[in-house]
Amino acid sequence: MTDTRIAFVHGRRVWDSRGRPTLEADVLLEGGAVGRGMAPAGASTGSGEALDLRDGGTAFGGYDVTRAVANVNGAITRALVGLDAADQAAVDARLIEADGTANKSRLGANALTAVSMAVAHAAAGAAGEPLYRHLGGPDAATMPLPQIQIFGGGAHAGRRVDIQDFLVVCPAAASFAQALDWTAEVYRAAGTLMAEAGTSAGVADEGGWWPSFATNEQALETLVRAIERAGLKPGAQVAIALDIAASEFGRGGHYTLGLESRALDSDGMIRMLAGWVDAYPIVSIEDPLAEDDAAGFAAFTAELGHRIQIVGDDFLVSDAARVRAAAAQGAANTVLLKPNQRGTLSETRAAWNAAKDAGFAAIVSARSGETEDTTIVHLAVGWGVGQLKVGSFARGERMAKWNEALRIEEVLGARARFAGGAALRRGTAG
């Protein structure tokens, strides 16, 4: 057994998929093992998220991270040197204590997230194991059902359409690899349809086709046609998931769909979305109402929670206490898990534990601003979460994660179990 005490922590500024500064952390253990983590960044962020510490000012649009980097090389290094990297809970507790604020605003959730992930990688390296196995032990063999974006929108595409993510899931695929095969064909067919319509306009923040539709619903119609054009059956083989990201256009029970110049209240939103669920093979809807509309979430879940998965992202911000509160209210039935919404892996894991206790499902998710870091894939497999969302089927920062999952499935071989449609939270009361 090599020495797993933390010898050295180093932070540096690197660049993310939007060409913005982000933070990378390296951790070196006394026995020589090393680990690395890179912080992602959201664009449609929940107000309850831990703080992504940026310098402000004029350089790089105010997004520079020199203060967060200095925190890694100063206060965080001092707090962690000598701790046992194999004890992730103790390391994360020390990070939380060193920050000392409720929202990680002193040291920065970006600094903490990168370090927390780097420590996990270093510990896995010292044990001579891939991270998913280090986290989940020899039984960690569940490959997640991927949610893959075909059209981007909302804050990720200049608000060209109001809805943020039009995604596909492949509940009937036999393996993770086959789910990617099917998605690749759908993604290509969707691109062809847009080119034929003369509306091809490149890709959005997460690699999905830049939307060029007259209405939000037209994206749904086009998606169904793309599935058919790919030679697959809408619903049975390839179903639709949506991230409405309603906090981006709604507040206080009032929602404004800019594309269609429509104003709706909570009930109007619920009626519109319920109509879509009736008309299209939709199996999952994320943030159907705004983060401040818990009553709307509860009404939506009461009406549709027995048919579809209802996911809280901005609404639950990977927070265990919010998951418990939502479960008590019957608001949502699934939580999105994004480590940088909290700042440490242990807190993210606590949200997953709370979800399991509440009968919620969960989806491990990337951010719209990403890097080549693949830690979240290992979290999904290692924790046995069952679902994974990392954006679309283009751009290196997205493909790095899908490809890492392919490698894991190959290494697991006959032991791999694809979560498939059973991972979706549906068919029971919300």
Strands 250-251 and 254-257, how do they pair?
antiparallel
Span near ligand 2PG by CB under 6 A; candidates 14-22, 40-48, 372-380, 402-410: 40-48
Cα of 113 vs its chain's centroid, Å = 14
Report the run of H or E that residue 96 belongs to, with start and end.
helix 88-99
Please tell me whether residue 424 binds ligand 2PG under the rule CB under 6 A: no
Amino acid at site 86: A
Among 52, 243, 404, 409, binds ligand 2PG (CB under 6 A): 243
Please tell me whether residue 291 binds ligand 2PG under the rule CB under 6 A: no
CB of 164 to ligand 2PG, least distance (A): 6
* Residue 49 touches which of Mg ion, ligand 2PG, none (Cβ within 5-8 Å per kind): none
Structure tokens at 43: 């664009």
Name which of 378, 365, 339, 342 is nearest 123 in CA terms.
378
Report the run of H or E that residue 337 belongs to, with start and end.
strand 334-337
CB of 316 to Mg ion, least distance (A): 10
- Dihedral angle, C-alpha 361, 159, 215, 259, nearest 10 °: 120
Q: Are 6 and 83 in contact (CB under 8 A)?
A: yes
Residues with Cβ within 8 Å of residue 82, at least 6 apart in sequence: 5, 6
Please tell me whether residue 340 binds ligand 2PG under the rule CB under 6 A: no
Active-site residue flag, 303: no
**Of 338, 370, 404, 409, catalytic:** 338
What single DSSP character describes residue 260?
Answer: T
Active-site residue flag, 338: yes
**Of 24, 49, 185, 206, catalytic:** 206
Q: How many helices and strands (H and E) does the chain possess?
A: 13, 16
Q: Which residues bind Mg ion (CB under 5 A)?
A: 243, 286, 313
* Residue 185 touches which of Mg ion, ligand 2PG, none (Cβ within 5-8 Å per kind): none
User: Which CB atom, from 39 or from 68, has the smaller least distance to ligand 2PG?
Assistant: 39
Please tell me whether residue 38 binds ligand 2PG under the rule CB under 6 A: no
* Residue 79 touches which of Mg ion, ligand 2PG, none (Cβ within 5-8 Å per kind): none
What single DSSP character describes residue 156?
Answer: G
Structure tokens at 206: 């997460």
User: Which CB atom, from 270 or from 316, has the smaller least distance to Mg ion?
Assistant: 316
Q: How many residues does the chain have?
A: 430
* Subset of 365-394 contacting ligand 2PG (CB under 6 A): 365, 367-368
Dihedral class, residue 23 (left if φ above 0, else alpha if ψ from -120 to 50, else beta): beta
User: Which CB atom, from 26 or from 313, has the smaller least distance to ligand 2PG?
Assistant: 313
User: Which CB atom, from 313 or from 397, has the smaller least distance to Mg ion?
Assistant: 313
Span near ligand 2PG by CB under 6 A; candidates 83-91, 186-194, 274-282, 363-371: 363-371
Active site residues: 206, 338
